[in-house]
Structures are given as structure tokens and as C-alpha cells.
Copies of this chain bind each other. A is one copy, B any other.
């Protein structure tokens, strides 16, 4: 059966499905968050950068795997095939390729901005969402991996999150194990994709998928036995794999790199990490370190940040033969906000402090002078435009979440005073007109 559903289009304009408006309350909270993230990133030596929303389509295609079909693409007025930014990493690769001569080496940048993917909105996903990325381009040092992780971790701490757990792994270890147990190297990509589904689909299901994909049940058992081996620090990890490391180059490299990252993290005072050899991450382009962060308070929420090392991507984007190592981590701010809301860590503060009431149209000059004096003094002050009932003016202050009212009537003008009312506590008091700014600043 097939229905053609016709939805009557209303005259009133609509928001596109999967897109969101941020009104003043939400936007104020977002700005406070983004500023904290920005400052954390800058403390770790990352400098800000921004690339355009549109890129040549061919710059973006072939980088993201099957998900690429979610990219918004079209032909522009000049007939160019263009696409909307799908992440902040491939544009960074394009930027680095064209500017590398003049950039610091290594190049440490952060970027904060929206990306677009035509996701299935029934899964609660958004089609426009912000990413906050740190990346280090041009270094294969383990300190770069650790710094990217530590910068994101510090940002999450600054946002008030107390129990962030860092899950960390290195894809070379998985690849090495697959080689050791005799799985064809060409299978690595698909094995990584299946392992990435463990959190959502469970280990049993993933084991079945791996068998359907061509691994023997013995190989699957061996793989998971090896992936089970873990350790809380580099020494234990090396002990677990000491024999196999002699046998297999990828395993030796993977364990070595992971150890160095753990040591560097430790040196930076970051200790809440767990080595999880099953961690694969979704993107095809990771070549070594992979990492994600979860909240112990919200174990079922999934990851709020993730990333890894991608030593081939920039070379691929540049189309050249040069290999340019890079590593980066990203916070998904929209998921993070949901988590912060769940944990009651988000404050929907108003940007507005004071409303000057308008009680007498003949006193407009006085009101304008008062509100102007407050603004020049650095106070966020509003004036009620027209003489109106005091109830309406209280209601307006309430709708803007304004906390202080400045009230000046006949009586106040005669006495050279102003009345201040705290709209939350209902407390009301008067001060000399020339002390208003000082008093307001004290009361904020």
C-alpha cells in the first residue's frame, strides 16, 4: 500500500525540519559555554580560525565514507559544484594545504562553528549543529595527541562537568591483532566499523556481524580475547603485549604510541583515562590514536567528545604525495548541552540587568538620561518605551528576566532620588540620583 500524504501548507512560515532557532535564553547560555570552551582551547596554545561554509564539492567528497550522502550539495550561480561544510577537519586540511608555507609548524588551531548533515531527524538528530574542534597539524608527537585530549578535557571541566572519563585506544593495535590472528588486512576498515557499533548494538550482535563478514568464530573469539586485555597505564599495557609486540610491527607501534600518549596525559595532570582496546570510532580516516569522552554520571548518554590521529587525510586532500601527520578532538556542543541540562549544570541567564520604568511621558528626557548613564557605565539597561500601567512594565521586565527596576515618579524627582526594586526579592529602596550607577553595580 502506498499513500500520497498531502500536508496543507499553512500561510505561516516554518522552520526547516532538523533545524533550530536559538532565542535569547538559549542563545545567552550557548554564548557563555562557547566562550568558556574558546578560552580553554586558547590556554592550551590553540589559535582561532574560521573557514567558509561553502567549499568545492570535490574538496569534501571521498573523505567521510558512506555517511557522505548526508552532505548538502548543489550547483551555484556560476555552475560550480559546491557543498556545505560537513565537518571542520576537511576544510582545515584544505586551508593547511594552501597556506602551509606561512603557518607555524606544528600548526595548532581551534575552530567553533556549525556543520550541516541531512540526518534522519527521527533519531533526534539535528541537521545543523556546532562542532568545537582542536587540531594539531604537522606533528607526529604523542604530546600533540595528549594536548588535544587535555584541551577538550579542560573545557569540559570548565563547563562544570565533574566526572569525564576518557576512553582511549590506537587503531594500529586492532590492526596488529587482526594480523596476528590471520585476518586479511583489507578487512580492517569493515572490522573497525563493526567494532564502533558495540556501544549501540552490544558485543554479541557485533560478533555475529563479524562472522557474517567472513571471520571464523575462532578468529572472532581470539580478537575479543585480545581486545579484553587492558591496563590503566603504559607499563601494564606493554607487559600484556610484550610477546606479540616482538612479532607484529603494527602492534608494537600502536602500543608504543598509546603508551607515549598516556605518559604525556599523565604529565599534564590528566589521569581519568581508561584504555579500551575495543574503541574504534566511526570515521574512516583515523590512523592511530582514537579517543572519546563519556560522562560517568550519564553512562548511557554516549560520547560527548571524540577524535583521533589522521596522518593521511591532509595528504589526500592536497592531492600531493607528502604525508602530513595530524591529530584532533571535537566537542559536539549540542549533545553536550542536553547532558548539561540533564545534570542541571546549565544556567539560562538573561543578558539584561535593569529596566527603567516609564511612568510619565513628560519625563522622557529624564528617563533617557538615566538609561544612557547606566549604559555608559557598563550596565545592560533597558527603558520601557511608552508610559503604561506599572503592571505591564513589571510583566515586560519579567519576560526579559530583568532583575532590577529603576522607578522615578513625581516624588522621586522632587527629592532628587531614584527608587530601585529587586524584582526577585521584591525589596525596594531609594538612593540619590547621582549614586544610581554605583548602587546598581553593587546590586547586580
Contacts and interface: CB of A to CB of B under 8 A. Distances in A.
Interface of A: 11-17, 19-24, 27-28, 30-31, 38, 42-45, 47-56, 58-59, 69-70, 72, 74-78, 80, 82, 84, 93-95, 97-99, 103-106, 108-109, 114, 116, 118, 127-128, 139, 141, 143-144, 147, 154, 264, 267-269, 317-320, 350-352, 364-365, 368-369, 371-372, 375-376, 378-383, 385-386, 396, 399-400
Given A16-B54, A267-B365, A369-B267, A45 B380 contact: yes
Scoring A17, A31, A42, A365 by chain B CB atoms within 10 A of each residue's CB, the highest score goes to A42
Contacts of A27: 47-50
B98 A14 contact: yes
B21 A49 contact: yes
A23 B418 CA distance: 50
Contact of A386 (B109, B141, B267): B141
A72 B264 CA distance: 47
B385 A141 contact: yes
Contact of A16 (B80, B267, B365, B371): B80
Given A77-B118, A108-B382, A396-B105, A50 B28 contact: no
Given A108-B382, A381-B43, A396-B105, A13 B128 contact: no
A99 to B, nearest CB: 7
Contacts of A80: 16
B319 A375 contact: no
Given A16-B80, A98-B14, A118-B76, A24 B52 contact: no
B13 A383 contact: no
A412 to B, nearest CB: 18
A20 B50 CA distance: 9
A22 B118 CA distance: 26
Given A267-B369, A351-B47, A98 B53 contact: no
B56 A53 contact: no
Nearest to A92: B21
B82 A16 contact: yes
Contacts of A11: 318-320
Contact of A379 (B43, B82, B94): B43
A54 B13 contact: no
A336 B396 CA distance: 34
Contacts of A399: 103-105
28 contacts: A11-B318, A13-B55, A13-B98, A13-B317, A15-B98, A21-B49, A21-B50, A21-B51, A21-B99, A22-B50, A22-B51, A23-B49, A23-B95, A24-B49, A27-B48, A42-B352, A43-B375, A43-B378, A43-B379, A44-B375, A45-B381, A54-B116, A69-B77, A77-B118, A104-B399, A141-B386, A143-B368, A144-B385
A350 B118 CA distance: 37
Given A47-B351, A53-B114, A143-B385, A268 B372 contact: yes
Scoring A74, A380, A385 by chain B CB atoms within 10 A of each residue's CB, the highest score goes to A385
Nearest to A27: B48
Contacts of A109: 24
Contacts of A22: 49-51
A261 to B, nearest CB: 12
A378 B82 CA distance: 41
Nearest to A80: B16
Nearest to A402: B45
Nearest to A369: B267
